Amino acid sequence: MLSNSSDTNDFSDSATAPALPYYTPSMALNAAMPSRRRFLRQLAMGSVLTGLSIAEAQAKVHKVYHHASHSSKAHKHVAHHHTKTTHHKSHHHAVHHPHHHEALHEAVEEQPIRQAYINRFVSHKTLALSNVNTGEHINVTYFEHGRYLPDALHEVNYLCRDYHTDTIHTVDPVLLDQLFDVKQLLTTSKPFQVISAYRSPYTNASLRHHSRRVAKHSLHMEGRAIDIRMEGVSSRTIKNAALALQRGGVGYYPYANFVHMDTGEFRVW
């Protein structure tokens, strides 16, 4: 049964249904905290613990992606000479109607479970991830011929580290599979923009100091949760694709433009 936790805890990324109340016993503490929308926007821009304003954080992220975009284009230009035929075919299949993703939230409900089931038996799985806080990006095949590839998983772990403390933690491969299935449902090869993945206990406690809506026992601290968005794809569309899997937790934050996914029990908020 779906459990909409919007009336209890906005950051329901603990393993079970949220138990924390929406308001803390101390109303004075809540009054001193930022508003829900402002905190979510700060969290999405990585400005909660850095002291930057939202505008400054946005400018930082824009600068990082502007640089990453130029680097990516230069790399593609060099690689084009070696993969001209393959690139041509990929480009041909990547052309979509401009309203493709806007209409997906309707189409994704028609046969997603069957498609996700099929995806679990593919010979290899590849993910493109980009960290909005560090500007790092990877495109790795992490599963091939029935086994997870340790070197690729190490790359994922590093990109998804807690950049506040530079702490690396193992990311649950099941979470990667959920991202892969969402990518397949979206029929895109665009990278997932990672807003927050692993959080050290210190970082999670610091975020809770800013807002009690952050789960005390967050699955982020176990490498079992991730907050994502995708350029050119609405968060609503990503959310619907994630819901179609009927696996793990799915949190939708439209005002901050990101979706939370985890490997806990299936629940929705």
Question: Which residues touch 88 (CB under 8 Å, ≥6 apart)?
Answer: none
Query: What is the structure's pLDDT at 214?
Result: 86
Residue 92's H or E segment, with its range, is helix 84-93
145 assigned to some structural domain: yes
Q: Name residue 269's beta-bridge partners.
A: none
Positions in the chain short of pLDDT 50: 1-11, 17-33, 61, 64-65, 68-69, 71-111, 113
89 assigned to some structural domain: no
Query: What is the structure's pLDDT at 212?
Result: 75
Q: Name residue 196's beta-bridge partners.
A: 227
Q: For residues 185-199, b (16+ Cβ closer than 10 Å) or e, as one string?
A: bbebeebbbbbbbbb
Q: Could you give the CA distance from residue 41 to residue 33 in angstroms, rounded to a whole number?
A: 14
21 assigned to some structural domain: no
Helices and strands of the chain, counted as H and E runs? 10, 8
Which one-letter DSSP state was computed for residue 57? H
Q: Could you give the CA distance from residue 258 to residue 195 in angstroms, rounded to a whole number?
A: 8
Secondary structure E strands in 72-191? 124-131, 137-144, 147-148
Alpha carbon 62 to chain centroid, angstroms: 18
Query: What is the structure's pLDDT at 211?
Result: 81
Q: Please state at what angle helix 173-186 crosses helix 112-119, rounded to 10 degrees.
A: 130
Q: Based on the structure, what is the number of domains in the chain?
A: 1
Write out the DSSP string of 77-127. Answer: HHHHTTSHHHHHHHHHHT---TTHHHHHHHHTTTSHHHHHHHHTT-SEEEE
Helix boundaries (H) for the chain? 27-32, 36-44, 54-80, 84-93, 100-107, 112-119, 150-159, 173-186, 201-210, 235-245
Q: Could you give the CA distance from residue 220 to residue 251 in angstroms, rounded to a whole number?
A: 13
**What is the domain range of residue 244?**
31-69+112-268
CATH number for 193: 3.30.1380.10
169 assigned to some structural domain: yes
133 assigned to some structural domain: yes
Name the nearest CA neighbour of 233 among 209, 257, 210: 257
Q: Are strands 147-148 and 137-144 parallel, antiparallel or unpaired?
A: antiparallel
Tokens coding 74? 């230069």
Q: Could you give the CA distance from residue 178 to residue 173 in angstroms, rounded to a whole number?
A: 9
162: alpha, beta or left? (left if phi > 0; alpha if psi -120 to 50): beta
First to last CA, the chain: 13
246 assigned to some structural domain: yes
Handedness of CA 85, 88, 89, 91 (dihedral sign): positive
Tokens coding 89? 């075919």
189 assigned to some structural domain: yes
168 assigned to some structural domain: yes
